[in-house]
Chain A
Amino acid sequence: MKEYFSNIWIGLSTVAIGMKVTFKHLFVPAVTIQYPSVRVELPERERNRLYVNMDDCIGHDQCWCA
């Protein structure tokens, strides 16, 4: 009987803890970078090589635009 009520209490309180965590994250600023409009500053001397695998290419010109 004691176990039954402690189960209920554990269930409800842990749900409340979880809800508190997710509610806090509602107001955490997002980590997303909205790529084409916002771009990360790359190092000045970076030399990245573009690479196209023609089997995977769907031809939407993203690599050409970048």
Chain B
Amino acid sequence: MMYDFFVDLFGNEIIAAILSGVPPLLFILVFVLFAVWLERKVSAHMQDRLGPMRTGWHGYLQTIADLIKLIQKEDILAAANDKPLFNLAPVLVFAGTYAAFAAIPFSSYYIGSNIDLGIFFIIGISGLVVAGILMAGWSSNNKYSMLGAMRAAAQIISYEIPTILVVLTVVMITRTLNLHTLSEMQTGYIWNWMIFGGPTVGWQKFSLIPLMFIGFLVIYMSTLAEVNRTPFDIPEAESELVSGYHTEYSGMKFAMFFLAEYANMYAVSAIVTALFLGGYQSPIGYFGNLVDVPWLIPIEQFLWFTIKGTFFVFVQMWLRWTLPRLRVDQLMALCWKYLIPIAFVNLIIVGLITVL
């Protein structure tokens, strides 16, 4: 653990905590630069376009150019805005997202904070994002922003229920909330991942496989809705709400919302990966074990975790450029009539299997 290493090195827990909080921030910044570029390229190629091509090889510097542009922009404050809330909202949204990264296990040697309530902490702290979005919509003093914020709050809170029900099914099998232990349980090869029944053996494992696939689909859909991406992007629907709660924002405050959105995409993908697809575990064994170089293993684990997370972010983009936006009633019907009953029945059956 990096935190323990820093405590030994400096003999001071505060310095160690601050230092071990830096890597997620760096990771978020680099990942967002990459993800925005990826989104543009994926959307462009799916529509038979090219996307940004002028800045660097296939436009890979485009995001940096955009960032410089956003820094130069004027920070507009309308007269009717509620100033303290308006300024606090983007920071709060980003803080909620960044705090969720504290408990995400990037590799067996690096996890921001190895707390026993890991997944519980992530779900709890993500609730802060709702407060930030509501603040943004309310303080903008704009009808469309307010509508967008209300929709976002309704959507995020209702989709948290199926997410938590699926998380509970996993937790019932592993009997731990600590994401580090949870990832360690899925060690070995691909058939030890939670989606293939995890560490259970015998008939239980075979009966768990279809249930875990259902759970995986449910949690993927509900987390997609939680990060407000298309097809569930009714809170920021450009064509009906003029992009919702961040209509009134400009410059760096808008960039904060953008950063939080893309960081959130990775955070939920990381949760899905850690719960169902082995976390940082490699599906095919480690190269470090093969050539007997132990320090290679954490680096490989980090690479596997990033690859898996980025793959799910890619699937989110793929879905975005495939499906149209849902209506509000369809969105709520999907959550309350389909995802919650299925997740609940799944929870009960998995509970019975683990008890037997």
A residues near B, CB below 8 A?
Answer: 7-8, 12, 15, 18-19, 21-23, 25-26, 28-32, 34
B319 at the interface (CB under 8 A from A): yes
In the complex, are the beta carbons of B48 and A31 less than 8 A apart? yes
Closest A-chain residue to B53, C-beta based?
Answer: A34
Check B49–A19 contact: CB distance below 8 A. Answer: no
> Could you tell me how many residues of chain B have their Cβ less than 8 Å away from some Cβ of chain A?
16
Is B45 in contact with A30, judged by CB distance below 8 angstroms? yes
- Chain A at the B interface: SS class: helix
**Is there a chain A Cβ closer than 8 Å to B322's Cβ?**
yes
Please, how many angstroms separate the alpha-carbon atoms of A31 and B45 in the complex? 10
| Shortest 4 CB-CB contacts between residues of A and residues of B | A32-B50, A18-B322, A22-B322, A30-B50
Q: Find out whether the CB atom of B318 lies under 8 angstroms from the CB atom of A25.
A: no
Closest residue of chain B to A7 (Cβ to Cβ) is B338
A15 to B46, CA, bound (A): 16
Q: Out of A21, A31, A32, which one reaches B322, CB within 8 Å?
A: A21
Report which B residues bind A (CB closer than 8 A).
42, 44-50, 53, 217, 318-319, 321-323, 338
Given A15-B319, A30-B49, 9 other A-B residues pairs in contact with their CB atoms under 8 A: A8-B338, A15-B322, A18-B323, A22-B322, A25-B47, A25-B48, A26-B42, A30-B44, A32-B49
The answer to whether B46 touches A26 (Cβ under 8 A) is yes
A residues within 8 A CB of B44?
Answer: 30
Which residues of chain B are near A21, meaning CB under 8 Å? 322
Residue numbers in A under 8 Å from B45 (CB-CB):
25-26, 30
A17 and chain B: residue at smallest CB distance: B322
A7 to chain B, nearest CB (A): 8
B313 → chain A closest CB, angstroms:
15
- Complex-state Cα separation, A10 to B318, whole angstroms: 19
When distances are taken between beta carbons in the complex, the residues of chain A under 8 Å from B338 are 7-8
Chain A's nearest CB lies how many Å from the CB of B88? 38
Q: Are A15 and B323 in contact (CB under 8 A)?
A: yes
Chain A residues with CB under 8 A of B50: 30, 32, 34
- Docked Cα-Cα span, A29 to B45, in Å, equals 8
- Measured in the bound complex, the distance between the Cα atoms of B217 and A59 in whole Å is 54
